[in-house]
Structure 1
């Protein structure tokens, strides 16, 4: 029996809230990275080593996340992740030694991937109810939450809030949202207990994953290093170190909400090709002319460029003819999110060997992979 409009809307709103929680939690950590770097007096290379705990946590979680979502349904796993992910953020604010920070960041990366896979599986189920693409709106909420997290982080920096106070405030806000919305999540998402723990993705799924990887390596760099870039390369005052993050998050959020209309008019392949060109051009602008005006404009362009890539490839993955939607989403999300987490520590290592501007130049080149791989989209649909 078809669900009523109100019932479908309640499921959509609840899932959207969890996307908001995920974005708010991660961006709250990311916008304080340059402060944590100063607190522990880390070099660029040392910061890169510390940040590497995040992708290690993700790698360990890969088979476990897919199995949990398949075994227990995305609803149960998403509720647990919604509670635990902000909790680990709070613990980050309480660390006082590097080894503690590394352990907690490992857990943060682990739970981030669990959150991503479970909430995107929910989103695929919601799309089935609506019989049209709405993935862009979910990811738009993630980006809007990121913008909100950076704005709150800017205020926290201006007021000299310690990490624990800032992160605890975010944790409490996220837990309130979880307790409000968990009961409205989609009860069944099509997961089947008969699906295997390890499923080998086909060539099309791997291509989609690599497109997401090329885009998310740029996105991860923006999240984790934009504050450091503006402080050390653009050399802005302390109060303006989040300017790049705000510019990036604002256009990324707007681009995701507008993505569906542009795809309808121009097609997925053309939008993805343009996305890579725009993001690469924005990064090159920030690298070649590192002043507050051109760097901010460049970061605005990067936000536009990466905005629609992940929602579009996840929507395509959900239509896979060889894998169940949830498993396909997990495969593409996993490969793509590796770029999100591997990019930031790689930036640190390269910056230590050369400088931060050369690191951003490399990311610009890698991000152009979105454009190159998008030419294969027609063969996949």
Structure 2
């Protein structure tokens, strides 16, 4: 079935908005830390609250999508996800911040499942790969959000005004784009009411690898800005470019990811990508020059860009497992890893230093390279 361009662009818009919102949160992590006068461990706990909220959302996502459809779920959860940005700096205290971030995690995970369900349906109907491009739009949104955040901070805009403007714009974009999503009654994917399910059997290994990749990726998203500001002494507007360089490189790589996967064996591509990520992150942590660190963050983005597409594709080829079930199981493990990474880094940073804690990214990237053969389980 041929899809209209408006339907495809509606989905791309949702992914772009998700990345933009997430980047805006990443840019203002130092602002939140200063606003509430909290330590790295307390900041890590705040991120863990978002992770716990995301886990709760994952347990309910399939039920909500099954009951209301991907379009309605994406519209409501996406709008709330955007609007919660405006509340990050105006909570009466740290405990209230934890509550807001927990809610942030719930709607983030459900919105993510809804738009990925829509993207998978579009790919099925289109008859050719679309998913890498959709995730490229997330990375592009992340780059745009980080660059915008850097620009407004350099211009002296008040952080609260920036968050409010982004919240309003992204909520409007999500609601508008949702009107062009597929109606619930024509969705071919059966969404069950069993809720969250952990991977089993051969999928466990792929799930662990996906979690390793996303723990490392999540660490970059949430800690790269603070790293440049705190460890290398960069002004916040320059530090925000850490997220931008990482997201821009990841977006560019994802947009050509399908062509790369067509030319290289999965294990070869995963091994090379992971080793590039490890080498680039080592450069970031060893250099004292912020500009060279930005180059390193870009290299990390290139390295991690294809990890999720490779492992998701592998999960669809596990013998005896339906492709949709394999992708869903590995996706759940990957998402848990993505949410677990930031608080793990926070606690390690409190015990040692942020620089030492971020070596977790190097270790996990090397682990991915060493386990690359599992990228072709058939």
Q: TM class, shorter-chain normalised?
A: over 0.9
- Unaligned runs of 5+ residues in structure 2 are none
- Give how far 1:293 is off: 3.3
TM-score, normalised via structure 2 length: 0.92
Name the counterpart of 2:166: 170
- Give how far 1:265 is off: 0.7
- Give how far 1:317 is off: 4.1
Asked whether the 8 Å contact 1:285–1:295 carries over to 2, the reply is yes
Asked whether the 8 Å contact 1:66–1:330 carries over to 2, the reply is no
- Give how far 1:124 is off: 0.9
Q: For residues 260-314 of structure 1, give each alpha carbon's deviation from its aligned partner in whole angstroms, at most 9, with x where no partner exists.
A: 1111111322222212111111111111223213312211110101112223333
Farther-moved stretch of structure 1 (120-129 vs 364-373): 364-373
Farther-moved stretch of structure 1 (309-318 vs 252-261): 309-318
Kindly tell me: are residues 198 and 229 of structure 1, through their superposed partners in 2, closer, same or farther at Cα, counting changes over 3 Å?
closer
Residues in 2 aligned to 1:279 and 1:172: alpha-carbon distance in whole angstroms? 35
In the alignment, is residue 154 of structure 1 matched against residue 150 of structure 2?
yes
Q: For residues 210-250 of structure 1, give each alpha carbon's deviation from its aligned partner in whole angstroms, at most 9, with x where no partner exists.
A: 22211111211111111111012122234311132121111
In the alignment, is residue 114 of structure 1 matched against residue 102 of structure 2?
no
- Give how far 1:67 is off: 2.1
The residue correspondences of 1:29-178 to structure 2 (distance < 5 A) are 29-178=25-174
Secondary structure at 2:371's aligned position in 1? helix
In the alignment, is residue 339 of structure 1 matched against residue 337 of structure 2?
yes
Residues in 2 aligned to 1:232 and 1:212: alpha-carbon distance in whole angstroms? 29
Residues in 2 aligned to 1:198 and 1:229: alpha-carbon distance in whole angstroms? 34
The residue correspondences of 1:1-381 to structure 2 (distance < 5 A) are 3-4=1-2, 7-187=3-183, 188-192=186-190, 196-197=194-195, 199=197, 201-317=199-315, 322-323=321-322, 325=324, 327-379=325-377, 381=378
Secondary structure at 1:184's aligned position in 2? coil
Kindly tell me: are residues 302 and 119 of structure 1, through their superposed partners in 2, closer, same or farther at Cα, counting changes over 3 Å?
same
Kindly tell me: are residues 167 and 263 of structure 1, through their superposed partners in 2, closer, same or farther at Cα, counting changes over 3 Å?
same
Kindly tell me: are residues 49 and 169 of structure 1, through their superposed partners in 2, closer, same or farther at Cα, counting changes over 3 Å?
same
Residues in 2 aligned to 1:258 and 1:279: alpha-carbon distance in whole angstroms? 18
Asked whether the 8 Å contact 1:71–1:192 carries over to 2, the reply is no
Residues in 2 aligned to 1:179 and 1:208: alpha-carbon distance in whole angstroms? 35
TM-score, normalised via structure 1 length: 0.92
- Unaligned runs of 5+ residues in structure 1 are none
Asked whether the 8 Å contact 2:23–2:243 carries over to 1, the reply is no
Asked whether the 8 Å contact 1:85–1:108 carries over to 2, the reply is yes
Residues in 1 aligned to 2:250 and 2:34: alpha-carbon distance in whole angstroms? 28
Kindly tell me: are residues 231 and 324 of structure 1, through their superposed partners in 2, closer, same or farther at Cα, counting changes over 3 Å?
same
Secondary structure at 2:288's aligned position in 1? coil
Asked whether the 8 Å contact 1:116–1:333 carries over to 2, the reply is no
Q: For residues 146-190 of structure 1, give each alpha carbon's deviation from its aligned partner in whole angstroms, at most 9, with x where no partner exists.
A: 001101111232233333311221122112322332222123333
Alignment length (residue pairs): 375
Kindly tell me: are residues 82 and 292 of structure 1, through their superposed partners in 2, closer, same or farther at Cα, counting changes over 3 Å?
same
- Give how far 1:199 is off: 4.5
Residues in 1 aligned to 2:195 and 2:30: alpha-carbon distance in whole angstroms? 38
Residues in 1 aligned to 2:157 and 2:314: alpha-carbon distance in whole angstroms? 43
